[in-house]
Amino acid sequence: MRIVLEAIRLACTRGDSALFTSLSFRVEQGSILRIAGPNGSGKTSLLRLLCGLRQPDDGDIRWRGASIYSSRENYHSEVTYIGHANALKDELLVEENLRFALRLNGGSPTDDTIHQALESAGLAHLAGMRVRALSVGQRRRVALTRLALSRAPLWILDEPFVALDQSAVAALAKYLEDHVDGGGSIVYTSHEDVPLRVSRAAEVHLGYVG
Ligand SMILES: Nc1ncnc2c1ncn2[C@@H]1O[C@H](COP(=O)(O)OP(=O)(O)OP(=O)(O)O)[C@@H](O)[C@H]1O
């Protein structure tokens, strides 16, 4: 199977700590990679490197064979990143937030598309509410609705299952499985061991940093 994303001898230091050095791994098309490790081991830092939001202290990241630093715009249009913080604006409505997020990613969603995605996520009743008024789990579900609207082949997700109730966990698991089945790729972190029905799955373990 074709390799789409490659981390090559990555090194990352935060403050005085070397979080990892010489970290290499590959992500195939149609596969999912879980980044595991205890609190503070560098999972979020690694995801931010993979998104191109930070540069590694050493090493390279390649997307379809080319360094992501040689064609940042092209790479960013291929990635949907949902961070631990949901990147939602409190003062905007749920539907406005989704429109805003998708435009930032280069999309041009219609109102219908946004409403359909909210409807299929069981969140239609939240469309006209300000994010400020939502619960933690509702915010997470709204942020994750971006996945239903994403055409990006690579999803990078930081703790996507946190704060979700059982049915939302099951619905998200199905989204992830469908993306991988359709030839997409996913890199994610999770403290929860959510079983995913995918044939190609791998894990990278980061070590403990005190
Ligand atoms: N902006 C920053 N400046 C300095 N150090 C930072 C910064 N952000 C994170 N760190 C440090 O880098 C280390 C790794 O943080 P990171 O958030 O990547 O870990 P994590 O594995 O995602 O943790 P968690 O499981 O708690 O979310 C931690 O020791 C943290 O204190």
What is the ipTM score, two decimals? Answer: 0.95
Compute, in angstroms, the gap from residue 122 CA to the centroid of ligand 1.
33
Which residue lies with its CA nearest to atom 13 of ligand 1? 40
Per-residue pLDDT reduced to its tens digit, 4-49 = 999 999 999 998 889 999 999 999 999 999 999 999 999 999 999 9
Compute, in angstroms, the gap from residue 113 CA to the centroid of ligand 1.
36
Return the percentage of the chain with pLDDT > 90, whole number: 80
Q: Which two tokens stand for residue 121?
A: 């996520």
Q: Has domain 1-78+153-210 been given CATH number 3.40.50.920?
A: no
Q: Domain ranges in the chain?
A: 1-78+153-210, 88-151
The atom number, within ligand 1, closest to the CA of 14 reads 5
For 143-190, give the DSSP string. Answer: HHHHHHH---SEEEEESTTTT--HHHHHHHHHHHHHHHHTT-EEEEE-
Compute, in angstroms, the gap from residue 15 CA to the centroid of ligand 1.
9
* Single pTM value for the model: 0.93
